[in-house]
A and B are shown apart, each in its own frame.
Chain A
Amino acid sequence: MTATAEGVFGLAQAEREAALLPALTELTEHHRATCEPYDRILGSLGYAHGAEFGTVEEVPWLPVRMFKHHVLKSVPDDEVFKVLTSSGTTGAEVSRIYLDKQAAGDQPRYLGRTLQAVLGEKRLPMLMVDTIGIIKNRRSFSARGAGVLGMANFGRQHVYALDEDDKPDVEAIKGFLAKHGSEPFLIFGFTFMVWQYLYEVAREHELDLSNGILIHSGGWKKLIDRAVDNAEFRRAFAADTGLTRIHNYYGMVEQLGTVFVEGPSGNSLYCPDFADVVIRDPETWAEQPVGVPGVIEVVSTVPRSYPGHALLTEDLGVVHGVDDGDWPGKRFSVLGRLPRAEARGCSDTFSGGAA
């Protein structure tokens, strides 16, 4: 039952870069021509119009936080179809990502093609490890809600594993498994919720999840206290519930449509063919060698309505290997967040005090 790499996990690193470089160069020019602030940034950094880049690493990147402070869009105002905003757990700052009709259609298409690699063509019965409330209450519509709603398209006959009070709904889960548990089914949720509300419940009630395919994301921060990392997560699910087809993924609203997916054997994320990662040395900003951690830059040819094709994230990561894993290209892990920069200024009595 190994997932196939057909579709978007097919390009070896050299082929991938050869394909990405002209596309990224074209995108850089496109965004310079259509997004004046972006053009000013590149101009001030000394990039000439029509600049050629020798490698993906050389393509100029923007810090992802730029989208929190500036309007960076490559479509005219009257063609803005949708504005996405990021979660921003700190509340104050949110990214604003501008999409035109074309971009709004592209994103689910790219996401769909990527997830097909692990889900297959058919839409599967889907267990959502969340509460229906998260999408029902439109007024407090959160990034979590958007994630759940976006992912719901990839399954059918959805059952929610939590009731509206955020309590595990054991009967609902048992009902879902009784109906669909003997054939392949899809499970989706945020990593900490999947652990807390599905793993723990499934172990207690000895539920059989062996036909499931789990897609999860959101990071490990909330699980550190429980000493659960990716390896322990996979081990525990396999040992106690029979669930072995587990795919973590990494993505962000600033590059929606592009997700980096954990391969079948686990513990490495892979880049779809239209994307790549560059792990940068935070001192020189050059690409780190394999095995040396650095700051993650995500590269994708999807963003066309805003200059988000090369973004420096605020996450730390490491490339484990190139063309040597389940799928071709770089395989990498996310190691955590960069700590926030905090200055010792005079002007601060209240900043951060509410955190």
Chain B
Amino acid sequence: MFGHLQRRSGVSPIQQRFPAGPDVEVADLLAAVTAEPEGGRLKVGDPRIVDFIVKFARKLLAPATARRFPELASLGFFLRRGEITKALAGLETTGDELRFPRGLVFHVPPANVDTIFVYSWALSALAGNPNVVRISARSAGAAETVIACLNEALAEADPIVAQTQRMVTYGRDEAVTSALSAACDLRVIWGGDRSVAEIRKSPIAPHARDLTFPDRASFAAISVDGWANATPEQRRDAATGFYNDSYWFDQAACSSPRTLFWVGDEAAAQVGRTEFLALLGEVVAAKHFVVEPAMAVQKRVSAYGVAAEGHATAIHFNGNAVATLELSDPADVPREWLGVGTFPQATLTGLDEFVRIAERKDQTFSHFGFQREELVEFAHALAGRGIDRIVPFGSALSFAAVWDGYDLLSEFSRLTTVTG
């Protein structure tokens, strides 16, 4: 596919997306990014970066942009000055510890989630690092808008931003990946197991580290009692939140819930399920969610596959948009993507039953109708062996500075100790 690219000195040229500029060679890019900047190196929480990001966030929150890409509005909120200040406050050190940027960070975000690269980059930039972000050639829509907003915000920014913060696109060229990998102090790999394995073929320096975001599986759970006691409004909100969590990103984001567990009495759970699915059907209809024919076929292939392997006893389709599978056993929970709007279901007697089937791979557990104490007890029982986030319905996709068990700002910085 990239055979048409002109090769110079054996290495593909790198397309500069932000700051927009002519193609460069990887060696020239690295030299520029790591050169001593005028006005001094970036610090943790550097005001020159904070100002730039705040201006950028304002552009994301412009009504026309936010309407077109709601996910960019979420991003804009995440990057408001107040939020940034709060996040940076967590980095303050006391006593003998001093915090500094980690160094050159190389980010490899996924191609299809248009906003991950911004979160990953912004937090690293706020920690004071020079960054090179590889943006997929397949990026589209929201990603293009993000890049346009970044370039617009650059006009009023300190020149250090353009010098140290780079977003680039290049073909499948291991030479470029290898050069960036060899030069970086931290490599951030999103995009699942295959990406991690692929990128890891390029070695990093002995002192450098990888921060990896491999394939994950996420779940939803409703308390049978909590559902029974919920008001009609709460139930409707739950269905809407669940819809947003699962249908946004085609249920394929690492934190999109797939299997829906009902926790409590089996007979009451059956009643709740029927009520919940009816509400979900209404939300899906109201949102005019369209499942393309190929996706509809994909859902059948996946759902039939789960049944073929003996893990589902019943499959129901409510149009193309909502498919449910009755799991033979909660322990058989599928962890792979089954197509948008495909929900295996099972009843658990209690959250402790999930603890027995949890795996390291499991990431987000979105919940409705539970008491906070139950959830805290659940987290203690899991004891970090699986599940990194326990969040209410509607928040599964909300990015946070703590992700996959990592406090990202901490990862993006380092500590020096001074004992007097």
Contact = CB atoms under 8 A, between A and B. Distances in A.
Interface of A: 37-38, 40-41, 43-46, 62-63, 65-66, 69-70, 72, 282-283, 295, 312, 314, 338-355
B297 A314 contact: yes
Nearest to A314: B297
A342 B253 CA distance: 12
A295 B292 CA distance: 12
Contact of A345 (B113, B193, B314, B326): B113
B66 to A, nearest CB: 19
Contacts of B301: 63, 65-66, 69
Q: Which of B249, B294, B312, B319 has the most CB of A within 10 A?
A: B294
B264 interface: no
Interface string B107-126: 01111111010000000000
A45 to B, nearest CB: 6
B295 A346 contact: no
B308 A348 contact: no
Contacts of B315: 44-45
Contacts of B96: none
Interface of B: 1, 108-114, 116, 136, 138, 172, 190-195, 198-199, 213, 215-216, 249-254, 256, 292-298, 300-301, 304-305, 307-310, 312-315, 319-320, 325-326, 337, 339-340
A348 B294 contact: no
Nearest to A40: B307
B249 A341 contact: no
Contacts of A340: 294
B249 A345 contact: yes
Contact of A341 (B111, B292, B325): B292
A347 B305 contact: no
Given A345-B113, A349-B111, A339 B191 contact: no
B307 A341 contact: no
Contact of B307 (A44, A72, A342): A44
Nearest to B310: A40
Contacts of B213: 346
A15 B109 CA distance: 59
A346 B1 contact: no
Contact of A295 (B116, B172, B293): B293
Given A66-B304, A344-B249, A353-B172, 12 more contacts: A41-B307, A44-B307, A44-B312, A282-B296, A338-B293, A339-B292, A344-B113, A348-B191, A348-B192, A349-B190, A352-B138, A353-B136
Nearest to B256: A345
Q: Which of A338, A348, A349, A351 has the most CB of B within 10 A?
A: A349
Nearest to A281: B293
Nearest to A282: B293
